[in-house]
Protein backbone atom coordinates (compact mmCIF):
# COMPACT_ATOMS: atom_id res chain seq x y z
CA UNK A 1 0.00 0.00 0.00
CA UNK A 2 1.37 3.42 -0.89
CA UNK A 3 1.77 6.26 1.58
CA UNK A 4 2.47 3.93 4.47
CA UNK A 5 4.71 5.12 7.27
CA UNK A 6 6.09 3.61 10.42
CA UNK A 7 6.17 5.44 13.75
CA UNK A 8 9.94 5.84 13.35
CA UNK A 9 9.53 7.46 9.93
CA UNK A 10 6.93 9.88 11.29
CA UNK A 11 9.08 10.74 14.31
CA UNK A 12 11.94 11.64 11.98
CA UNK A 13 9.79 13.58 9.49
CA UNK A 14 7.78 15.48 12.08
CA UNK A 15 10.60 15.93 14.61
CA UNK A 16 8.26 14.77 17.38
CA UNK A 17 8.52 12.36 20.24
CA UNK A 18 7.73 8.71 19.67
CA UNK A 19 5.27 8.69 22.57
CA UNK A 20 3.35 11.70 21.25
CA UNK A 21 3.15 10.42 17.69
CA UNK A 22 2.19 6.92 18.83
CA UNK A 23 -0.64 8.37 20.92
CA UNK A 24 -1.94 10.37 17.97
CA UNK A 25 -1.74 7.35 15.66
CA UNK A 26 -3.64 5.22 18.18
CA UNK A 27 -6.39 7.85 18.40
CA UNK A 28 -6.63 8.28 14.62
CA UNK A 29 -6.82 4.50 14.18
CA UNK A 30 -9.50 4.18 16.88
CA UNK A 31 -11.77 6.71 15.14
CA UNK A 32 -11.28 5.09 11.74
CA UNK A 33 -9.04 7.62 10.02
CA UNK A 34 -6.02 5.32 9.86
CA UNK A 35 -5.45 1.66 9.27
CA UNK A 36 -2.37 -0.36 10.11
CA UNK A 37 -0.65 -3.56 9.18
CA UNK A 38 2.22 -5.35 10.81
CA UNK A 39 5.18 -6.65 8.87
CA UNK A 40 7.79 -8.25 11.05
CA UNK A 41 8.59 -5.90 13.91
CA UNK A 42 7.22 -2.83 12.10
CA UNK A 43 3.68 -1.45 12.06
CA UNK A 44 2.80 0.51 8.94
CA UNK A 45 0.10 3.18 9.14
CA UNK A 46 -1.87 4.63 6.26
CA UNK A 47 -5.01 6.68 5.73
CA UNK A 48 -7.99 4.32 5.54
CA UNK A 49 -9.99 6.05 2.80
CA UNK A 50 -8.77 8.01 -0.24
CA UNK A 51 -11.57 10.54 0.29
CA UNK A 52 -9.81 11.63 3.49
CA UNK A 53 -6.68 12.40 1.46
CA UNK A 54 -8.73 14.32 -1.09
CA UNK A 55 -10.38 16.35 1.67
CA UNK A 56 -7.02 17.16 3.29
CA UNK A 57 -5.58 18.25 -0.07
CA UNK A 58 -8.59 20.51 -0.65
CA UNK A 59 -8.26 21.96 2.85
CA UNK A 60 -4.56 22.64 2.32
CA UNK A 61 -5.26 24.44 -0.98
CA UNK A 62 -7.99 26.50 0.62
CA UNK A 63 -5.77 27.53 3.54
CA UNK A 64 -2.90 28.44 1.22
CA UNK A 65 -5.24 30.59 -0.87
CA UNK A 66 -6.60 32.30 2.23
CA UNK A 67 -3.04 32.99 3.41
CA UNK A 68 -2.09 34.37 0.01
CA UNK A 69 -5.12 36.66 -0.01
CA UNK A 70 -4.38 37.87 3.51
CA UNK A 71 -0.75 38.65 2.62
CA UNK A 72 -1.79 40.49 -0.54
CA UNK A 73 -4.12 42.64 1.54
CA UNK A 74 -1.29 43.89 3.75
Q: How do residues 1-59 score in pLDDT, each as one tens digit?
A: 468 999 999 999 999 999 999 999 999 999 999 999 999 999 999 999 999 989 999 99
pTM of the model: 0.75
| pLDDT, position 2 | 61
Say how far apart CA 46 and CA 34 lie, in whole Å. Answer: 6
Question: Which domains are seen in the chain, by residue range?
Answer: 7-72 (1.10.10.10)
Q: Tell the burial category of 45 from Cβ atoms under 10 Å away from its Cβ (0-12, 13-18, 19+).
A: buried
| pLDDT, position 1 | 47
| pLDDT, position 54 | 94
Amino acid sequence: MEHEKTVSQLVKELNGSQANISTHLKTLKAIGVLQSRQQGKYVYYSIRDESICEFLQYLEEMLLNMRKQALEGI
